[in-house]
Amino acid sequence: MNDHQDRFRRQIAFKPVGVDGQRMLANARVAVVGLGALGSTIAERLTRCGVGYLRLIDRDWVELDNLPRQTLYTLHDAEYHSTKAIAAASHLSAIDPTTKLDPIVADVTHKNIRKMLEGIDIVVDGTDNFEVRYLINDACVALGLPWVHGGIVGAAGQAMLIEPDHTACFRCLLPEAPPATAAGSCDTVGVIGPAVGVIASWQSLLALQWIVERKDQDPSKRPSTLTVFDLWLGDVRKIQLHRVPNCPCCHQKQFPFLEGKHSTDAQVMCGKNAVQVQVPSGIRVQLQDLARKLRGEGDVVETPFLVRFSKDNCTLTVFADGRAMVHGTEDPAVARKIYQRWVGG
């Protein structure tokens, strides 16, 4: 038995995986979109299972209040304002240096999602907002890629494997996004770490199962099952879904999210008193130059991945790709003005 087989011997001993399944995991290419509470746990689980290639996509940095749930990150990451994609890759390579890791610090948008999913076998959803989920759904249905949806608020969550043309898609499940106030959010309702771990592990299991079974199983027999958990009550339910006749996405192949018809250049971050501003076209941001320019105007924190500038009651965080987060306002116009004032555009 070689080192690789020795590491995974208990997983190989589990018959549905076996030696062949372990080889398929080693050859699998998975994208994890969002590396917050769900995504960072999923990335760790899949690395530990022996998935050979992981593309790690996240736009954010690690903060102190992430640490109760986001078990991959450390206090050092929070103090150093490490971006989640880079921090995750660093911790995962310490777990298994043979895993190929491709960290991407960026916001997933209709402009870049096709490229981000290039060469990927399956996508796992670690996001926390509906707009990105609809975008992932559009892209995956358009590209014929399976994806694993998961979501959690409080101690209640859900997860589902979506295989285009075979199972219900995300818009069959939820034709329109609920209003932000109805859906609640992790900022207003809270969320607890052990519940996140259950949903993330369930999503990881669905991805693992798809990888090891895809050759043997007829995809038309793939169950269209949403699993819903109320973990505080210890309640787990399986809901059988059906593809919705005339679903605009998986039947009519209309992809408004992928075509950018639903996206905005300034996105209000619900409950965070913050707005994300996309980089205006034509603007190129050099973080070092920007930090130099802002020093003397207010407090500046500079890392290789971001520059954070605080003045009055606003904090502006600018990433290497030019995107910024403006804390201290929920008004997109104000956020854009602050961006233009200090960065340009």
Of 109 and 137, CB closest to Zn ion: 137
- Smallest distance, Å, CB 251 to Zn ion? 6
Site string for Zn ion, 207-246 (x = CB under 5 A): ----------------------------------------
Q: Which of 105/249 has CB closer to Zn ion?
A: 249
**Gap between the Cα atoms of 192 and 232, Å rounded:** 10
Q: Pattern of binders to Zn ion over 124-163, x per CB under 5 A?
A: ----------------------------------------
Taking the C-alpha atoms of residue 165 and residue 142, their distance in angstroms, rounded to an integer, is 10
Query: Does residue 76 contact residue 124 with C-beta atoms inside 8 Å?
Result: no
Residue among 108, 169, 231, 294 that touches Zn ion (CB under 5 A): 169
Phi-psi map region of 322: left, alpha, beta (phi>0 left; psi -120 to 50 alpha)? left
Show Cβ contacts of residue 72 under 8 Å, excluding neighbours closer than 6 positions: 35, 40, 41, 43, 44, 87, 88, 91, 92
DSSP 239: E
The least distance separating Zn ion from the CB of residue 243, rounded to whole angstroms, comes to 6
Backbone angles phi, psi at 149, to 5 degrees: -85, 145
When the beta carbons of 107 and 138 are compared against Zn ion, the nearer one is 138
Q: DSSP 3-state assignment of 299?
A: strand
The per-residue DSSP string of 113-167 comes to: HHHHTTT-SEEEE----HHHHHHHHHHHHHHT--EEEEEEEBTEEEEEEE-TTTS
- Interface with Zn ion includes 172 (CB under 5 A)? yes
Any idea what the Cα angle at residue 142 is, between residues 136 and 148, rounded to 5°?
A: 40
Stretch of residues binding Zn ion (CB under 5 A), selected from 76-84, 156-164, 170-178, 204-212: 170-178
Q: Using CB under 5 A as the criterion, what x/- string covers residues 242-271 for binding Zn ion? A: -----x-xx---------------------
CA–CA gap between residue 297 and residue 308 (Å, rounded): 12
* Cβ at position 172, least distance to Zn ion in Å: 3
Residue with Cβ nearer Zn ion (153 or 169)? 169
What is the nearest approach in angstroms of Zn ion to the Cβ of residue 250? 3
**Position of tokens 């201290």?**
328
Closer Cβ to Zn ion, 160 or 172, answer by number: 172
Which CB, 162 or 186, lies closer to Zn ion?
Answer: 162
Q: Pick the catalytic residue from 186, 247, 249, 250.
A: 186
- Tell me how many helices (H) and strands (E) the chain has: 13, 14
**Cβ 170 to Zn ion, closest distance in Å?**
7
Segment lying near Zn ion (by CB under 5 A), choices 70-78, 164-172, 180-188, 304-312: 164-172
Q: How far apart are CA 95 and CA 89, in angstroms?
A: 10
Residue 314 a catalytic site member: no
CB of 200 to Zn ion, least distance (A): 24
Residues binding Zn ion: what is the number (CB under 5 A)? 6
Catalytically active residues, by annotation:
186
Binding site for Zn ion (CB under 5 A): 169, 171-172, 247, 249-250
